[in-house]
Structure 1
Amino acid sequence: MIRLDKFLSEMGLGTRSEVKKLLKTKQVTVNKAVVSKPETKVNPDTDEVCLNGSKIEYKKYEYYLFNKPKGCVSATKDNVHGTVMDYITDAVHDDLFPVGRLDIDTEGLLLITNDGALSHELLSPSKHVAKTYFARIDGEVTQDDIISFKEGIDIGEERLTKPAELVIKKSGSVSEIELTITEGKFHQVKRMFEARGKRVIYLKRISMGPLKLTDDLKTGTYRALTQAETDALRQINCGK
């Protein structure tokens, strides 16, 4: 149960004070009865709250798939650079945040939400959520690299990286690859290739768990997750 003014405010109908003024106009009903008291308790799952006869659907959480461009940082605020949140313009809640981070010069899939529990699960090292990247590499990527990535790479930490799946899409002086990792170490993809004597010159995340980046979602744009995608995130079992 939550207060009616909180319900209405969280659904984008204004600040608490603005909502209280709205309630005084007797345009809001709860289960078809006019309610003007802001402290009235409602159950978002069972009570029908309407404004001028139109039902207000309560959304506790929002989930957006964002195709991050270069030049913005994966943060809610930054004193120097623009943030990924600057692109999310029509969210209802004001407490959204990016799940994890992509470097400022990295593009691609980023989940934006206000669901802290889900974010924790997706980022937990014990969950091993798979993340796939497309990259262009300065240098020829070979079968030896595939074997090394599968065995684990020494990137200067206590342990080798976990086994990663490297797929060569194009090999040459500039190679194109897809790499799937199950960790999220700082600059991990770049450091893995540097350890092999090569340099990442372009990096884009194309999937995270069940979420896939599609060609119709242009760089710098976003969309709400489908119910199927949200359910798949909640049901993910990466411990096996």
Structure 2
Amino acid sequence: MNLLVPTATDDGEFHGPSLEEFFPGPLLFEGTAFEINRIMLVRFVAVIALLLVFWLGTRRMRVVPGRFQSLVEMGLDVVRVNIAEDLLGKKDGKRFLPILTTIFFMVLFMNITGIIPGLNIAGTSVVGVPLVLAIVSYVTFIYAGIKKSPANFFKNALFPPGVPLPVYLIVTPIELISTFVIRPVTLTLRLLMNMIVGHLLLVLFFSATSFFLFTMGGWWSILGVGSLAMGFVFTLFEILVAVLQAYVFALLTAVYIQLAVAEEH
């Protein structure tokens, strides 16, 4: 199966991107529990690349790091300093650093496949990975709260102290939905929708470029040059979105953990 984005069709008409691209046919093991399609293959590539980067960056650690080791350490410091320690402090930051680092780099590498030629779709553009990561974040939040205060975590979350008794009829359902339902849903949808929209826009611009240049020709080629330029601009923007979404996902996970281990719990 061709891993490249679709271009102009053979019937001479332009067809824009559709959601069908996120549900490709099987490539391997069709009809089995281990069926692999294009997006699953992209996810495997992203995970292998992630493991390879960290293996190469940490296999020969030096006191005076080389360029590649420095790059890896810089990425790790972004999570350690700007997310973990900044929100959770030294003690809890170190405690939850592995999960925050894993979330950040997994989201980053899954996102960045959306602009890599030959892959051209983010591993997070189908709900599976965003949902799993949101569940991991949610479970970590619950674990942190119960570990901090086994007896009072759920009580303080659902029945905030200092609220008049009758008001709990309104406050408790709101807290239940906002704290224990909305958080994993918003984490999932924020990441998923950003990657879907980014992919559709890139496919739209580059498909339009192919259509204007090779199907229409003539003066239409001017529009093809314009759509090509916009495609490159949005590719750069998609790189920014990929990094930003990884940062936001890890940051919100740290925020939820910080709320769970707050003193009032």
Relative to its length, the structure with more strand (as a share) is 1
TM-score (norm 2): 0.25
TM-score (norm: length of structure 1): 0.27
Greater RCO between the two (CA within 8 Å, min separation 6)? 2
Higher relative helix content:
2
